[in-house]
Structure 1
Amino acid sequence: MSFIEWTEEMSVKAPVLDGHHRMIIDCLNQLHPLLETKGDGADIRAVMAKLEDFVLLHFAEEEREMKQAGFPDWRAHKDLHDRMYDVVFSLKSDIERGKVLDARHLFDLLNDWLVTHILGEDQKYVPFIAGHDHQPVAQWRRSNGKDV
């Protein structure tokens, strides 16, 4: 059984975005058993790299959907994405530089940012995108204009 189970309550009524959210939850579920792992952290680095790449793709898709559907608070939501990405990137960078991180803290932080975001902030745009025709994009841009 997974540590975090997908529930219908998490759905944003957009199959592609729901699939992304499920992948993010899958990354958290992969990270959870590593909490007590003692070793070089290769598994944690692999999960964090996957999470970073996937979060970038997801943010691009979600932001595009919000804009196209006319969600009025899409810019504020994008700012949340930028801050969330900064946390993920910083943690991944620390791990790659060999910094020993508290895996429990890492998991709790990511769980709070990602799952709480899905259940809270993402639900605000559901009435705007429900039933909207979704065409995927491939690049995410930060609010400061820099590509990552």
Structure 2
Amino acid sequence: MSQITWDSSYSVGIQKIDEQHKKLINLINHLDAAVGKGQGSAMQGDLIMELAEYLMDHFGMEEALMDKYGYPQYDAHLQIHHSFTRKVKEFRDDIAAGSLSVSEEALVFLGDWLINHIQATDKLLGDYLREQGEV
């Protein structure tokens, strides 16, 4: 996977969400670099753990905003978050068990999922939150 570079087209127009998206991209890029340098499963596991923990914080913040403002697509958005979190936890658990190192396919999945989620689902959320007065 090539490194993901933040692009203004990824902005959802809510500063705290954009900042967290940038951090998620950075974490995926660090994981990609570790895999590219052949760093072992312990390092990859640490990075996946950090990514999983940060995802929980990020998704929690988004979900709190959706709840606060009565986002009409809350349930669907929540299910998307849960599905992705399960997948990241599977990667983390497999690495912790020593049965997997992060593959190129997993990296592409992580990067593609995040960018697609930002550009589709989170942009809609950003539009709604701005309409409600959140910046």
Q: TM-score, normalised by structure 1?
A: 0.81
Unaligned runs of 5+ in 1: 134-148
1:19 corresponding residue in structure 2: 19
Q: 2-side partners of 1:111 and 1:121: how far apart?
A: 15
**What is the CA deviation profile of residues 32-77 of structure 1, one whole-angstrom value per residue up to 9, with x for unaligned ones?**
1233344532221111011000000011100111222232101100
The structure with the greater share of residues assigned to helix is: 2
1:117 corresponding residue in structure 2: 117
Q: Equivalences for 1:1-148 in 2 at 5 Å?
A: 3-38=3-38, 40-130=40-130, 131-132=133-134
Q: Secondary structure of 1:71's partner?
A: coil
Q: 2-side partners of 1:26 and 1:70: how far apart?
A: 30
Q: TM-score, normalised by structure 2?
A: 0.88
Structure with more contact order per residue of length (Cα contacts < 8 Å, sep ≥ 6): 2
Q: Secondary structure of 1:120's partner?
A: helix
Instruction: Tell me which moved more, 9-18 or 71-80.
Output: 9-18
| Backbone CA RMSD of aligned residues | 1.7
8 Å CA contact 1:10–1:118 kept in 2: the answer is yes
1:144 corresponding residue in structure 2: none
Following superposition, the deviation at residue 102 of structure 1 comes to 4.8
Unaligned runs of 5+ in 2: none
8 Å CA contact 2:41–2:101 kept in 1: the answer is no
Identity %: 26
Q: 1-side partners of 2:86 and 2:119: how far apart?
A: 20
8 Å CA contact 1:24–1:51 kept in 2: the answer is yes
